[in-house]
Amino acid sequence: MRRRRFITASAAATVALALDIDETPMTGRLSMSDITHARERIDRLDAHFSAIGGESLLAVATAYLDRLTTAADHCTYGPRVEQAFHTAIAVLCSSAGWAADDAGNLDAAHQWRTTALQRAILGAGHRAQARAWSDLATHARRGGHHREALRISQTALASRGARQDPRYAALLQSRLAIGHARTGDHPAAARALLAAQTAHDRINPTEPAPRWLNFLTAAEISGLAAITQQAMGHLAYAETATTQALTFLEPGLRRSHAYYSVQLTELKIAQGNTAGARTTVAAIDTTKVSSQNSTGRLATVRRTLATA
């Protein structure tokens, strides 16, 4: 445990240095180039989150948010810069929400996600609004409020960001499918899964994705489909889809590898395949993963296997 904390703390220090937080102007007049630099720093933070998780990055994200909100209060800027500034802060609040989620602080995660939506609305950032709605749906689902999660997902899909970008549509339809499955509407879940795959197929691979969405590959679509299948009680299908996700995942996405490896172990246990579960769990390495969500679930499956 001490080794994992050392590694993630070192990662946070590296990110803080790379972000150059102290270079953000605190006085004077801001221009669009200042917003561009801020977005580049936020992109670097999101890249580290995708790689290792967000628990160790929460302090970095919140410190940078303090810096940006102080700059917003003390600097001058025109209407165009103001809107872009709100949108950049919204994106960073969404990142902080996931970092808090990985740290196990769901109250803080909800606060940051709500603030992200408010800032995105102020900035008229349609994609930032879609992301914030999507994150709030995930938060509701984590709290067991499945009908609320379903309604939020439907609201997110009606946003301009989802209508304009198939990446957002694919993610939101995948999460909508989970919501339908967990509220017992299996036909609607199947339709949402098909819509997610259709949207993903429409993605133009030559168009760069927002950095925070770099995890949304065919592997992630399979992994989210597995969660839907599991919620519908189709455990064999869920296991196949989870295995496919792990096969397609890029090596650098260690957080996702850990998450879906634990999911695969849970599915094997649920089907009575304790031997297969032990083989899977023995290969899981979370020493470079900074997410209590994954490490907590891993500890639970290990305890289950110890008594099986």
Residue 205 DSSP SS3: coil
CA 24 to chain centre: 26
Residues 11, 3: contact at Cβ < 8 Å?
Answer: no
- Model pLDDT for residues 41-97, shown as the tens digit of each residue: 898 888 877 777 777 788 888 888 998 999 999 999 999 999 999 999 999 999 999
Distance CA 245, CA 227 (A): 11
Q: What SS3 state is found at 76?
A: strand
Separation of alpha carbons 130 and 150, rounded Å: 14
Tokens of 184: 């017992």
Structural tokens at position 295: 């490490």
Contact 44, 15 (CB under 8 A): yes
pLDDT in tens, 1-13: 444 443 344 555 5
Name every residue whose Cβ is closer than 8 Å to that of residue 99 and which is 6 or more positions away in sequence. Answer: 49, 54, 55, 57, 58, 61
Q: Where are the domains of the chain?
A: 1-124
* Residue with tokens 């299908």, as numbered in its chain: 237
Q: What are phi and psi of 137, to 5 degrees?
A: -65, -45
d(CA 90, CA 87): 5
Q: What is the mean pLDDT of residues 169-187?
A: 95
First to last CA, the chain: 25
- Residues above pLDDT 90, as percent of the chain: 64
Q: Output Rg (C-alpha) for the chain, integer angstroms.
A: 20
Whole-number pLDDT of residue 1: 42
Q: How do residues 135-155 score in pLDDT, each as one tens digit?
A: 999 999 989 999 999 999 998
CA angle 150/142/6 to nearest 5° reads 145
Query: pLDDT band at 19, cuts 50/70/90?
Result: low
Provide long-range contacts, Cβ within 8 A and 24+ apart, for 9-17: 9/56, 11/48, 11/52, 11/56, 11/57, 11/290, 12/56, 12/57, 12/59, 12/60, 15/44, 15/45, 15/48, 15/57, 15/60, 16/60, 16/63
* pLDDT per position as a tens digit, 231-279: 999 999 999 999 999 999 988 888 899 999 999 999 999 999 999 999 9
Which amino acid does the sequence have at 204? N
Looking at residue 52, its pLDDT comes to 77
Record the tokens describing residue 251, joined without a space: 């090596």
Q: What is the pLDDT of residue 260?
A: 95
